[in-house]
């Protein structure tokens, strides 16, 4: 794979910013022209341009697009739910993109259609994350069975997660068999992705000493598999050691509701080794959880979770976006800091004000 700029933002000049702005205008004009029905017909006939445009509608924070976005999602829902959703997390540099490239090509060789969605809460479209991520999966982005879509970011995690979930629905309606979601390993982000996938894979790299120090306990608890990447060259022995150590530690974790025992394995994404085994392991997991009904139960629970999350997210945004509240909140903060009011009484007052406001 081509070695790429470490940070695509570094070499950005004003013409790129200008191009991004022009591109956004063109996308918005196109969105306005094409009706929800036309986009849905396009998606259902596996038209990638229609799918991309529909995702842009969903990602739009322009209130005028909300009704259209809902119409698209509702029409796609009956055609969704047929895929396997896989979340891949790991620290930056663990080799997630390289792994997805090798894994995606393997899936494609099995005749599967793959959509790759990436969540990166630290970048934003105008800073070039689209190009950055696409070039890091160079070969896969040229594969006709694959669609790669970096998420719009720079907003709240809740907002990004909602859009990603809805994007999954559109991709499924578009006929993709496997949806892969790449996310960099930072707390909240992992939990959000875990709540929207069937299988959660932690990509790990072996380091010197105690392996567990480098892995957050919480992530191990939610991971269905831990795969040590970069098991090549001088690193093979170290990886074997790390695997043994982690396997011993996993005995101390409680059994999972899925009935699945988390697997520990290794691969070299760069050399394309161990990739088919990971695919087989995921297939085994899906078979097990479909036969013991955990698969459907988990998806139903996830739907409920996102219903409540979306309500929380929207209420919060509405509350803090209310102009009356914004003014009062600043004053209230000072009053609370100076012990002129208790935080609880002040919160009560703000909430009452919010419900009585006409905003």
Ligand X SMILES: Nc1nc2c(ncn2[C@@H]2O[C@H](COP(=O)(O)OP(=O)(O)OP(=O)(O)O)[C@@H](O)[C@H]2O)c(=O)[nH]1
Nearer to ligand X, 94 or 140 (CB): 94
Figure out which of the listed residues 53, 85, 96, 162 binds Mg ion, where binding follows CB under 5 A: 96
Q: Cβ 232 to ligand X, closest distance in Å? A: 5
Helix (H, G, I), strand (E, B) or coil at 257: coil
136 is a site residue for ligand X (CB under 6 A): yes
Helix (H, G, I), strand (E, B) or coil at 112: coil
Asked whether the beta carbons of 79 and 173 are under 8 A apart, the reply is: yes
- CA 24 vs CA 54, 77, 160, 168: distances in Å: 14, 27, 18, 22
Beta partners for residue 273, in sequence order:
268
Asked whether the beta carbons of 54 and 148 are under 8 A apart, the reply is: no
Handedness of CA 14, 15, 20, 22 (dihedral sign): positive
- Euclidean distance between CA atoms 120 and 61, whole angstroms: 18
Query: 205 to 224, contacts with Mg ion by CB under 5 A?
Result: none
230 binds, among Mg ion, ligand X, none (CB under 5 to 8 A by kind): ligand X
Q: Cβ 358 to ligand X, closest distance in Å? A: 46
Asked whether the beta carbons of 169 and 44 are under 8 A apart, the reply is: no
96 is a site residue for ligand X (CB under 6 A): yes
Helix (H, G, I), strand (E, B) or coil at 265: strand
Binding span for ligand X by CB under 6 A among 18-26, 86-94, 188-196, 345-353 = 86-94
Figure out which of the listed residues 86, 169, 184, 215 binds ligand X, where binding follows CB under 6 A: 184
Asked whether the beta carbons of 331 and 353 are under 8 A apart, the reply is: no
229 binds, among Mg ion, ligand X, none (CB under 5 to 8 A by kind): ligand X
Among 145, 71, 55, which Cα is nearest to 109's? 145
Q: Cβ 348 to Mg ion, closest distance in Å? A: 45
- Euclidean distance between CA atoms 15 and 296, whole angstroms: 48
Site string for ligand X, 20-59 (x = CB under 6 A): ----------------------------------------
Q: What is the DSSP letter of 172?
A: H
68 is a site residue for ligand X (CB under 6 A): no
230 is a site residue for ligand X (CB under 6 A): yes
185 binds, among Mg ion, ligand X, none (CB under 5 to 8 A by kind): none
97 is a site residue for Mg ion (CB under 5 A): yes
Q: What is the DSSP letter of 183?
A: E
Q: Cβ 227 to ligand X, closest distance in Å? A: 10
Q: Encoding tokens for residue 222?
A: 């939610």
227 is a site residue for ligand X (CB under 6 A): no
Beta partners for residue 181, in sequence order:
87, 117
Figure out which of the listed residues 8, 42, 87, 95 binds ligand X, where binding follows CB under 6 A: 95
232 is a site residue for ligand X (CB under 6 A): yes
Q: Cβ 278 to Mg ion, closest distance in Å? A: 17
Among 100, 90, 95, 132, which Cα is nearest to 5's? 132
Q: Cβ 12 to ligand X, closest distance in Å? A: 17
Binding site for Mg ion (CB under 5 A): 96-97
Instruction: Summarize as ranges the residues that interact with ligand X (CB under 6 A).
Output: 90, 92-98, 136, 184, 229-230, 232, 268-270
């Amino acid at each position: 794979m081509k070695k790429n700029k470490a940070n695509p933002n570094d070499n950005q000049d004003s013409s790129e910013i200008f191009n991004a702005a022009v591109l956004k205008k063109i996308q918005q004009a196109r969105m306005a022209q094409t009706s929800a029905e036309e986009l849905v017909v396009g998606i259902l006939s596996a038209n990638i341009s229609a799918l991309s445009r529909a995702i842009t509608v969903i990602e739009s924070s322009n209130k005028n697009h909300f009704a259209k976005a809902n119409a698209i999602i509702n029409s796609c829902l009956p055609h969704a739910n047929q895929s396997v959703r896989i979340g891949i997390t790991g620290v930056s540099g663990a080799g997630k993109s390289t792994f997805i490239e090798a894994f995606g090509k393997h899936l494609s060789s099995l005749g599967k259609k793959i959509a790759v969605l990436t969540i990166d809460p630290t970048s934003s479209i105008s800073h070039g994350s689209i190009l950055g991520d696409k070039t890091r999966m160079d070969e896969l982005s040229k594969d006709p069975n694959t669609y790669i879509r970096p998420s719009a970011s720079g907003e709240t995690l809740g907002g990004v997660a909602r859009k990603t979930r809805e994007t999954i629905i559109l991709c499924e309606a578009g006929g993709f068999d496997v949806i892969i979601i790449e996310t960099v390993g930072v707390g909240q982000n992992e939990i959000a992705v875990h709540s929207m996938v069937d299988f959660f894979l932690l990509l790990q790299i072996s380091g010197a000493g105690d392996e567990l120090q480098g892995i957050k306990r919480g992530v191990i608890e939610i991971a269905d598999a831990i795969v040590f990447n970069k098991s090549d060259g001088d690193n093979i022995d170290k990886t074997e050691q790390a695997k043994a150590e982690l396997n011993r530690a996993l005995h101390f974790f409680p059994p999972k509701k899925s009935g699945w025992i988390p697997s520990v394995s290794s691969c070299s994404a760069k050399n394309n080794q161990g990739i088919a085994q990971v695919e087989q392991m995921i297939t085994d997991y899906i078979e097990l959880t479909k036969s013991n009904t955990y698969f459907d139960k988990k998806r139903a629970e996830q739907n409920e979770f996102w219903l409540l999350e979306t309500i929380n997210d929207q209420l919060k945004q509405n509350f803090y976006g209310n102009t009356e509240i914004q003014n009062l909140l600043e004053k209230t903060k000072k009053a609370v800091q100076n012990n002129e009011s208790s935080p609880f009484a002040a919160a009560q007052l703000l909430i009452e004000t919010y419900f009585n406001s006409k905003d």
